[in-house]
């Protein structure tokens, strides 16, 4: 059986991105592989195997065009309101809290989005139901 291990995103400024992911989600550098033309930075939290892989192309000077194909990556948290308040206080600019009730009934998810320094969208979900 396959197991998801990381999601890769291209970033313009390594230090700025590492700082964001640490401040927003507590991810720290697990491994940093430096090559002649690019650097790979693997970020993880102490309680999960899944990593965010930052790819830094050394000759890149312009922000990446995210196009219309990128969706988002998601993180689950124990206390959505507390995380929203913490990110707001930290100046990370989380968007509004949303309760998603597609048929008008009981919400199936509660979440908010925040963008990283390169514009990648990140969904932050309340731990509940299928989101664990």
- Residue 44's Cβ-count burial label (10 Å; 0-12, 13-18, 19+) is buried
- 19 has catalytic annotation: no
> Which tokens belong to 71?
């969706």
- Catalytic option among 14, 22, 53, 123: 123
Decide: residue 121, CB within 10 A, 0-12 exposed, 13-18 middle, 19+ buried: middle
Give catalytic residues, as residue numbers. Answer: 123
């Amino acid at each position: 059986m396959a197991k998801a291990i990381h999601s890769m995103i291209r970033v313009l400024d390594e230090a700025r991105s590492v700082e964001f992911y640490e401040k927003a989600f507590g991810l720290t550098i697990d491994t940093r592989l430096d090559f002649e033309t690019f650097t790979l930075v693997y970020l993880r939290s102490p309680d999960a195997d899944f990593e965010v892989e930052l790819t830094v192309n050394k000759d890149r000077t312009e922000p990446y065009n995210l196009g219309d194909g990128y969706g988002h990556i998601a993180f689950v948290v124990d206390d959505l309101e507390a995380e929203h308040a913490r990110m707001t206080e930290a100046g990370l600019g989380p968007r509004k809290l949303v309760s998603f009730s597609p048929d008008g009934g009981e919400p199936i998810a509660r979440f908010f989005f925040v963008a990283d320094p390169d514009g990648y969208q990140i969904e932050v979900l309340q731990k509940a139901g299928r989101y664990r």
